[in-house]
């Protein structure tokens, strides 16, 4: 498990994280007709890097994450910037009963590979979306495990066809992928490039 609490204070000083979120936000904007009446959930929001570029084109945004440290930084940013349409909640939807709220859009960046049960979280996302609601997931394409290093237990990215099958089983339709970013990283195996996809889908 990665200790995200201890990374939270320095998260936004990594220009790659900021640029990655900006590119993912642009891709969501291109693929989904966003409007100020839409309610949205940012799952695994971290410090909110993905939601800030989208906040002026959406209605109410709920930001959920299991890390108290990430949410502390996020709350400070919301207060500093006087943002009025963001609500922050600490949550792990894989370990809690389904909440009552429903959304028109759920987006999630670089979080899916940290969640052991992919089928379960896709089912939860499906249940939390209004009919015809949109799902947008950005994550790593399948990699050899060098992205996090061997000692950290996470999914080694996702095979697009296998993730499509899982999303279909969870009840999603109109599934498509775009490559939206590339993370270039120095690893034990040398300098490597890791593509990041954006999956977009609709609740059937
Ligand atoms: C790689 S960070 C990405 C943060 C942010 N989305 C971004 O793009 O900058 C992954 C985030 O997922 C959160 N996370 C991991 N497992 C989670 C779970 N089961 N439920 C909610 N959040 C989770 C972590 O606390 C962390 O903030």
Distance 49 CA to ligand 1 centre (A): 11
Q: Residue 22 to residues 29, 39, 161, 178, 181: CA-CA distances in angstroms? A: 11, 20, 26, 15, 10
Q: What is the tens place of the pLDDT at every residue in 71-97? A: 999 999 999 999 999 999 999 999 999
Range of the domain at 139: 4-203
- 111 C-alpha vs ligand 1 centroid, how far in Å? 5
| 32 Cα: distance to centroid of ligand 1 (angstroms) | 22
Using a 10 angstrom Cβ sphere, with 0-12 exposed, 13-18 middle and 19 or more buried, the burial of residue 61 is buried
User: What mean pLDDT comes out for the span 95-117?
Assistant: 97
Number of domains composing the chain: 1
* Residue with CA at minimum distance from ligand 1 atom 18: 92
Q: Supply the pTM of this predicted model.
A: 0.97
Mutate to test the pocket of ligand 1, among 2, 111, 138 (most ligand atoms within 8 A of CB): 111
User: CATH code at 148?
Assistant: 3.40.50.150
pLDDT class for 149, splitting at 50, 70, 90?
confident
Going by alpha carbons, the residue nearest to atom 10 of ligand 1 is 111
Tell whether the model's pLDDT for residue 151 goes beyond 80: no
């Amino acid at each position: 498990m990665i200790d995200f609490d201890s990374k939270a204070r320095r998260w936004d000083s990594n220009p790659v994280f900021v640029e990655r979120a900006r590119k993912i936000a642009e891709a969501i904007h291109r693929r989904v007709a966003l409007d100020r009446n839409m309610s949205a959930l940012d799952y695994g929001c971290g410090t909110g890097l993905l939601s800030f570029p989208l906040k002026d084109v959406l209605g109410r945004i709920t930001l959920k994450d299991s890390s108290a440290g990430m949410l502390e930084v996020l709350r400070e940013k919301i207060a500093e910037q006087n943002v009025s349409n963001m609500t922050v909640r600490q949550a792990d939807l894989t370990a809690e009963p389904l909440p009552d709220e429903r959304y028109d859009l759920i987006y999630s960046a670089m979080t899916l590979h940290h969640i052991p049960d992919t089928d379960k979280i896709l089912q939860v996302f499906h249940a939390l979306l209004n009919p015809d609601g949109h799902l947008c997931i950005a994550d790593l394409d399948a990699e050899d495990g060098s992205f996090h290093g061997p000692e950290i237990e996470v999914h080694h990215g996702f095979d697009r066809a296998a993730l499509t099958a899982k999303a279909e089983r969870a009840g999603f339709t109109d599934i498509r992928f775009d490559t939206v970013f590339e993370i270039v990283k120095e690893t034990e195996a040398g300098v490597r490039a890791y593509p990041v996809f954006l999956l977009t889908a609709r609740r059937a």
